[in-house]
């Protein structure tokens, strides 16, 4: 009996150790899988390069961190390489949902993302082009997920997501405006906060989530840059008018002085 208990105890310990080892190995593999997934799926949505420096995931707690996520510029003659850069993002996920049909994300916090707008804030620019790409993919995914879009079993619906709370804070936008001389200028935009995204049974797709976030970020960026550009151009125009006025005034003054001096000489003064 004692021998049997000893065998059972050893077996139990081995199972626990192997289980922990499996969790550790799965966690390490999950990091690489998620990183590769982002770098594969995201470019198909934005139609740009997307790279990630690192992903760290704790399968037990459901916490994750993403560092160095960079979205490149779309095709075109842009001076800057990147359009959007997220230094660090913290994500909290319900662990049990990772293998289900809908992944439940408790929270996403992105601190101090950097955006670069290049082009015309009131017309064509790099951010608008990226948003157009995302909108097209989101519309395509929505059509695919409709029941009548394709025969059953022919296409698999995109995996759904729920995000309970998402916050982007300290957003900095650097602008290179077409036709404006001088160095690029920077502005900040208000924090962007979403709650209860995809909480229904249907959830939302990765493309739809990307569309919603980028739409808010890009709209806010274009608005802030446009207002700042108007202010800068207004001051520049004012300075040009003032400068022209000062020059004209000086010319009139010089002419008047010469005229007075000439008249004085004429009358012997």
Q: What is the pLDDT of residues 96-122, one digit of tens each?
A: 887 788 889 999 999 999 999 999 888
* DSSP β-ladder status, 160-169 and 204-205: antiparallel
For residue 106, the model assigns a pLDDT of 93
What per-residue string of b and e applies to 35-72 under the rule 16 or more CB within 10 Å gives b? beebeeebeebbbbbbebeebebbbeebbbebeebbbb
Residue 197 has pLDDT above 70, yes or no: yes
Residue 17 has pLDDT above 70, yes or no: no
User: Quick one: average pLDDT of 231-251?
Assistant: 49
Q: Which has the higher per-residue pLDDT, 110 or 23?
A: 110
Residue 225 has pLDDT above 80, yes or no: yes
User: Quick one: average pLDDT of 144-158?
Assistant: 52
For residue 21, the model assigns a pLDDT of 35
Mean pLDDT in the chain? 75
- What's the N-to-C CA distance of the chain in angstroms? 136
Q: Which residues contact 112 (CB under 8 A, 6 or more apart)?
A: 87, 169, 170, 171, 172
Residue spans of alpha helices (H) in the chain: 2-46, 126-144, 206-266
Write the DSSP symbol of residue 90: E
Q: Which residues contact 156 (CB under 8 A, 6 or more apart)?
A: none
Domain range list for the chain? 2-150+162-233
For residue 157, the model assigns a pLDDT of 57
Q: Which residues contact 256 (CB under 8 A, 6 or more apart)?
A: none
| Confidence band, pLDDT 50/70/90 cuts, at residue 265 | very low
Residue 7 has pLDDT above 70, yes or no: no
Residue 255 has pLDDT above 80, yes or no: no
Q: Which residues contact 251 (CB under 8 A, 6 or more apart)?
A: none
pLDDT tens figures, 80-93: 989 999 888 999 98
Residue 220 has pLDDT above 50, yes or no: yes
In the Cβ-directed half-sphere of 193, how many Cα atoms lie within 13 Å? Answer: 4
User: Quick one: average pLDDT of 48-57?
Assistant: 90
For residue 232, the model assigns a pLDDT of 79
**CA angle (172, 178, 183) in 5-degree steps:** 55
Q: What's the pTM? A: 0.70
């Amino acid at each position: 009996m004692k021998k049997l208990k000893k065998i059972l105890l050893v077996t139990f310990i081995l199972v626990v150790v192997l289980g922990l080892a499996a969790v550790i190995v799965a966690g390490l593999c999950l990091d690489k899988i998620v990183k590769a997934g982002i770098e594969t799926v995201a470019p198909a949505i934005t139609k740009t390069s997307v790279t990630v420096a690192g992903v760290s995931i704790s399968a037990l707690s459901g916490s994750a961190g993403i560092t160095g996520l960079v979205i490149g510029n779309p095709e075109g003659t842009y001076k800057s390489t990147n359009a959007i850069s997220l230094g660090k993002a913290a994500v909290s996920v319900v662990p049990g949902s990772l293998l289900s049909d809908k992944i439940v994300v408790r929270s996403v916090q992105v601190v101090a993302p950097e955006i670069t707008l290049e082009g015309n804030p009131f017309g064509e620019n790099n951010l608008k082009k990226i948003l157009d790409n995302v909108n097209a993919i989101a519309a395509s995914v929505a059509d695919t997920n409709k029941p009548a879009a394709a025969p059953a079993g022919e296409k698999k619906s995109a995996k759904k997501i729920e995000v309970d709370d998402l916050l982007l804070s300290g957003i900095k936008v650097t602008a290179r405006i077409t036709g404006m001389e001088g160095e690029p200028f920077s502005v900040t935009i208000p924090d962007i906060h979403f709650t209860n995204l995809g909480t229904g049974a249907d959830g939302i797709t990765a493309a739809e989530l990307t569309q919603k976030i980028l739409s808010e970020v890009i709209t806010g960026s274009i608005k802030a840059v446009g207002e700042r550009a108007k202010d800068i151009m207004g001051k520049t125009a004012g300075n040009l008018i003032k400068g022209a006025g000062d020059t004209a005034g000086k010319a009139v003054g010089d002419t008047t002085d010469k005229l007075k001096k000439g008249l004085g000489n004429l009358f012997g003064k």
